[in-house]
Amino acid sequence: MDVGKDLLLQMYRGMQRIRQFETRIRDLFLANELPGFVHLSIGEEASAVGVCSALRDTDRITSTHRGHSHLIAKGGTLRRMMAELYGKRTGYCKGKGGSMHIVDFSLGILGANGIVGGGLPIAAGSALAAVVTGRDDVTACFFGDGASNEGTFHESLNLAAVWKLPVVFVCENNLYGEFTPMQDVTSVKDIAVRAKAYGIPGEIVDGNNVLEVYNHTTRAVARARAGEGPTLLECKTYRWEGHVAGEQAFIGAGSYRTEAEIAEWKTRCPILHFEKMVVEGKKISRAELDRIVQETQAELEEAVSFARSSPLPDPSEVTDDVYA
């Protein structure tokens, strides 16, 4: 599939925004500036950006506890995300949700979700809403290898298959569910083969190659929009950071995966891979890429300042928004 320069630039900006946001979040969290805990997507930028680049504005996504990348890729505003992570009233959820629960309905982001597998039936339902209202919007559903062992994965794939719902299930297989290797707790090597049980296409994708993700998603979205039903994409990828930022403090370093494994996956960095491809292929100059890096740095600095200077919620807001 031919991808024009504008889209390539947009993909690069998306991956840079995620990488820089997540790196900064890690540092702010370790400096005790952020309450709660955060799950980072460093190393998984290509799957989020590749999928969301194949969607249009009215399409929707559901996300996970490791969801910053998906929200940014779908157009989330860094300053409102950052403010939410600080627990400020200017955040996306007025400080009620935090890292795992950021939502922006205006961008079709139905939300991150703190429950593993929680987003799968919601995505099926979002796709059902498109059918009921006669629209051709598609829903992309992000989840991890861990969620593919949840009942909701199996129930949602079956439901989406029997009703031919316009949904693309995107499994980001980063090889670990919390601190447990995926192969220890999963009956199959490739999650994609589970599609066969529900009579839908299942495809294995190099999740660190944004163009490959984009191409697979584009085909899956076209099928969904045409009323041909769901697809399961398995993006093979890896999280460079731990399950939660700062986990070394309580589990110790190297306790469930080796430094060699992490180093090996870093050689497959989705951003470096992309830079090499577009510069060597003379599609984008190094200077153009550098400008995006700098613009993103400036955007991020502004987001941090905004979050830091924003007011905390007033305690009187605690009872707001329980009911409509």
Partner 1 sequence: MALTTFTLAINQAIAEEMERDPLTFLMGEDVVLGPFGATKGLLQKFGPVRVRNTPISEAGFVGAAVGAAMAGTRPICEVEFASFFYCAFDQVCNQAAKLRYMSGGQAHMPITFRALFGALGGAAAQHSETVYAQFLSVPGLKLVVPSGPADMKGLLKSAIRDDNPVIVFEHGALGRLKEEIPAGDYLVPLGKAAIKRPGKDVTIVAIGAMVSKSLKAAEKLAAEGIDVEIVDPRTLVPLDEDAILSSVEKTNRVVVVDEGHWRGGAAADIAAIIAEKGFDFLDAPIRRVTALDVPIPFSPPLEKAAIPDEAKIIATVRQVMGR
- If the CB atoms of residues 50 and 111 are measured against partner 1, the closer one turns out to be 111
- Report the residue number, 121 or 207, with the smaller CB distance to partner 1: 121
Q: Which residue has the tokens 């599939």?
A: 1
Our measurement of the distance from residue 212's CA atom to the centroid of its chain's CA atoms, rounded to an integer in Å, reads 16
Q: Which of 54, 110, 192, 210 is close enough to bind partner 1 by CB under 8 A?
A: 110
Annotate 52-113 with DSSP letters as a single string: HHTS-TT-EEE--SS-HHHHHHTT--HHHHHHHHTT-TTSTTTTSS-GGG--BGGGTB----
Q: Considering only 28-36, 38-46, 104-112, 204-212, which stretch makes contact with partner 1 by CB under 8 A?
A: 104-112
For 262, which DSSP code? H
* Least distance (Å) between residue 54 CB and partner 1: 19
Q: Which of the stretches 102-110, 207-215, 243-251, 279-287 binds partner 1 when contact is defined by CB under 8 A?
A: 102-110
Q: Rounded to the nearest whole angstrom, what is the least distance from the CB of residue 98 to partner 1 in the complex?
A: 8
Shortest CA distance to 119 belongs to which of 103, 131, 132? 103
Pair 142, 48: CB distance under 8 Å: yes
- Considering only residues 62-91, where is the footprint of partner 1 by CB under 8 A? 62, 91
Spatial CB neighbours of 46, under 8 Å, sequence gap ≥ 6: 15, 207, 208, 209, 210, 213, 235, 237, 270, 273, 274
Question: Any contact of residue 111 with partner 1 (CB under 8 A)?
Answer: yes
Nearer to partner 1, 51 or 110 (CB): 110
In the complex, least distance from residue 118 CB atom to partner 1, rounded to whole angstroms: 6
77 - beta bridge partners?
none
**Smallest Cα–Cα separation from 167: which of 75, 59, 71, 72?**
59
Tokens of 252: 């110790």
Structure tokens at 202: 């299942």
Cα gap 76→71, rounded to integer Å: 5
CB 133, min distance to partner 1, A: 6
Cβ 66 to partner 1 shortest distance, Å: 17
* Closer Cβ to partner 1, 75 or 114, answer by number: 114
One character per residue 5-44, x = contact with partner 1 (rule: CB under 8 A):
----------------------------------------
Binding segment for partner 1 (CB under 8 A), chosen from 11-19, 26-34, 246-254, 314-322, is: 314-322
Q: Does 93 bind partner 1 (CB under 8 A)?
A: yes
Within 270-309, the residues that bind partner 1 by CB under 8 A are none
Up-side HSE of residue 194: CA atoms within 13 Å toward CB?
A: 24
Scanning residues 113 to 142, which ones bind partner 1 (CB under 8 A)?
Answer: 113-115, 118, 120-133, 139
Interface residues with partner 1 (CB under 8 A)? 60, 62, 91-97, 101, 103-105, 110-111, 113-115, 118, 120-133, 139, 151-152, 155-156, 158-159, 162-163, 320-324
